[in-house]
Amino acid sequence: MRKMIFLLVILLLANFAYADREKVFTVGVRAYNGVQEAYQMWSPTLAYLEQHQTKYSFYLMPVFGFEQMRRLMETGQLDFVITQPAEAVILKEKYGARIMLTELKEYNGKTVSYFSSAVFTRADRKDINSFSDVKGKVFAGIDPEGFGAYWMGLKEIRDTGLKEGKDFKVLFTGTQDKVVDYVLSGSADVGSVRSGILENMAKKGRIKLSDIKVLNSVSDGLPLLHSTKLYPEWAFMSGGNMDEQTITDIQNILTNIPRDSQVLKDSNYAGWIMPVSYISIYELMRSLDIGLYEKKPFFGFVDWPFYLKILVPIAFIWLLILGYVGFSVYRK
C-alpha cells in the first residue's frame, strides 16, 4: 500500500511539473491483475519517458477488459497502449494501431522476447497427466479472451481433438492468481497461466511448486515452467494517427534504457526492442477460430451437422416456393 501511495504521489507531482509540455498522452495498459499492480508495473516506465525528453507527458489509464480497450481505441481516447500480443494484433488490424516495440523479460540471467503458458494440475492428480486427460474435467482460465492464461492452453487441448463445452467445462476466474487458487483448492481440475506466474507465486510464498504438476513440460530455452510453444511478448503500441517523430522519440528512449537502470528493476522487465514478428499470433487465432477469425454463427449454424446444413436451407427454399404458389392461387 505504501508503494502504491508513493507512486500516486509521484504521478501527481509529475502532472504539475510537466504542465507546460506540448502534449499529454494517455497510455492504456492492460490491468489483468488489478489497478495497483498496473500502476506499480508501468508508472516507472512513463516517468522514465518524461524524464528523458521535454515535449510530452504521459497519463496512465488501467484498462480491465478487451471491450473497454477497443472502445477507448475506437473513440480516440488512447494515444498509446501497452498490452498482451493477441490484443495488440487485434488493435492493429481493426483500429490501425501500430506495434512500436516488443517487451524483453529476463529469467535466470537469460533475456527473452517471448513467453508461453503453463497448463497445470495438482501434483496429486494421478488421473491427469496429459492434455487429453482434460476430457470430462473443468479447465480454468483468466478470461474468454485471455491469451497466455487461456488461448495458449486451449489450443494444445483442442489439438488432441477435445472441444470446450462438449468434452470439458471452462471456468473463468478474472485473475491468473485465482486460476492457480481454483486448481489447488479443487474448484477446477486444470488451469492455464502465462509462464512465470507459478514461479512468482512460489517466490512470494503463496504456493509450493511441489504441489503443482505441469502438463507436457517443455524444454526449449525458456527457463520457466511451461507447456506450449513460444509467442512474442507484450507490445508497446501507438494509435493510428500518431506522428512519426513522436513514435521515433519514444522508440529511441525505451530501446536505450541501460541494463542496470532502476526503471527496469521497478517494472520487472529487461527492456524493449524494435517489434518482432507477431505472425504466430495470427496462426493461433486462425486455428481456434477466435479473435480476428471468430466465426459469427447464424443461430449456431456452424455447429449444425452436415446434413442439417443442407436440408434446412432446402426446406426453407421450398417453403418460400410453396408460399408464393399458394399466394398466387389465392389471388386468382
Q: What is the pLDDT of residues 247-296, one digit of tens each?
A: 999 999 999 999 999 999 999 999 999 999 999 999 999 999 999 998 76
Whether 34 is in a domain gets the answer yes
In this prediction, residues 91-97 reach a mean pLDDT of 95
Q: Does residue 237 share a domain with residue 209? A: no
Q: Is residue 292 part of a domain?
A: no
Domain count of the fold of the chain:
3
Verify that 108 and 125 share a domain, yes or no.
no
Residues 98, 10 share a domain: yes
Q: Is 81 part of any domain?
A: yes
Reference 139, options 193, 85, 201; nearest CA is: 193
C-alpha cell read off for 320:
418460400
- Computed over every residue of the chain, the mean pLDDT equals 89
Same domain, 279 and 315: no
The reply to whether 293 falls in a domain is no
Q: How far apart are CA 198 and CA 176, in angstroms?
A: 9
Asked if residue 6 has pLDDT above 50, the reply is no
- Centre a 10 Å sphere on the Cβ of residue 329 and count the other Cβ atoms it contains: 8
Q: How far apart are CA 288 and CA 295, in angstroms?
A: 10
pLDDT value at 123 more than 50: yes
What percent of the chain shows pLDDT beyond 70?
86
Interatomic CA distance for residues 95 and 56, integer angstroms: 23
The string of DSSP codes covering 163-202 is -BTTTBEEEE-SSHHHHHHHHHHTS-SEEEEETTHHHHHH
Evaluate if residue 131 carries a pLDDT over 80.
yes
* Domain encompassing residue 146: 114-214
The single-letter DSSP state of residue 54 is S
Does any domain span residue 222?
no
Backbone angles phi, psi at 53, to 5 degrees: -160, 165
Please tell me whether residue 157 adopts helix, strand or coil conformation.
Answer: helix
pLDDT of residue 20: 61
Report pLDDT digits (tens) over 19-45: 566 799 999 999 887 888 899 999 999
Task: Say whether both 148 and 281 belong to one domain.
Answer: no
